[in-house]
Chains A and B, each alone.
Chain A
């Protein structure tokens, strides 16, 4: 009786090749789903866009001549901000005291980059375009 019970324990469902294969396939699918999610979230993350936009805008502000306007397509950033439920009014801002461009596509997170130009800068978001205007600082 005791020996029979031991056999039952030994003869688990895992010994069934079909069962083992199913577990293996499910584990593999789960593993790769997690991997693809990680790759997707790392490459399309808001952090990368915040850094790229902050640096791009700061370099534009440094090179823009007074009396000119630049229209920049920022559709990607708006999509990400909408996904993160971030208010569109506060995506792009300028810290005039510190001479920083700030880009924030997530609540409570962002990226800032310093520029050296002393022009009077104004930025306005119109639809999916950011309009940057520079005037001579009096």
Chain B
């Protein structure tokens, strides 16, 4: 069954329909119109920022400020550590008041290191100048070498803003890239930040894309977008026509279907090809960048601005004015609730990200980070069965196979569940557990309301634990074997040493002259004389009194 475009899109030489399609997928209620009609604006400056030091994939950044330091907007506060990590800059001027572990939004409630900044008063966030232009000045980017662009992007602390937060500079270093795909699918319900950005600032995103293409030496750019974003498509295609870029830029429109924005699914839609298992998109000559990331690249290269804020969709039925807002990193969610007059008694939880792959947070002190693309403050309607936020007892799996028709990677979720429930780890892995992208389409369609993805996460962590145990056991075995070997070796060495010493002694004894000083001869002579004397004295008694002597001898 092939998917049809459901929205009316005018195709031309720039706007084309997607040639490929992916297996399965779902059509959840979109809730996009809640937030996508409002123009982008900024929120009022928060009083305090809590900036987590780990906001990217890889290693935590190392703070380079101390408590009491004054910082200016855009100042580097933590440096990346190792290859996969990202710089952090303060969005606002203020004073460092605390560097300590705090709650930073981890779903488990885990604490992580943060820098707390008391923000100076009177900072107008809508004023672009106050954002800080702290990066080195570059020449016209069209003349820059790719290395220069990439190092500027690394300095700016840019990471993949689609949610994966992988450092962009590392991704752009991929070799033999032909095509840059801009992921503007935004397939999760509620989220509209990329849509709004493309509608309002397509020229910035386009320039960001051209910069990224130059950095990777890609020779064409494809914007991948779902057909439910007609306005964004129109505004972007007008922009492309006006700009007439040096390399071909096209917009490829895919039918609205979750999870078309998954990297692998996007690639399948745009190219008709699948990324081979265990390889990166670069194996197909592709690099994928998200719309917001490209905007950040534009800001870093053209405006010298580090990444200190992002566009966040603030939405849900509890929000007074849902829409897309520029939010500085470190802004506590409770502050956002305050400005949007959301009372904590109404709102039991906030969803960070979308309802299908996001996190549910009940501690509102968590800050907005580079990964926060959407905040959903929703009071679930009891009549509406759509939301499922707490685990109830689920019905057994009847193997209806709905999940298998929904799975975008063609797994058999019903089999994964079966093996996961019965702890059959080897079978579970053979069924492709680690190919699961955890999109949640299977759980969405499950008639028995089985939280399938949690079963897979459980399986993944159990298998990883077993593998870690195996590695540990292997290491322990190696250590044990080495110890045994070492003991045996020392023993052998010692034995050899003893043997050699003994041999040496023996040799020495053999080689020694019989009586080098003549003492022994003197003693022997003396003894002989004594013996002779004694013999002379006892001579008369010898025959009569001592017959036993012979017997003893």
Our verdict on whether A and B bind, yes or no, reads: no
Interface residues of B (CB under 8 A from A): none
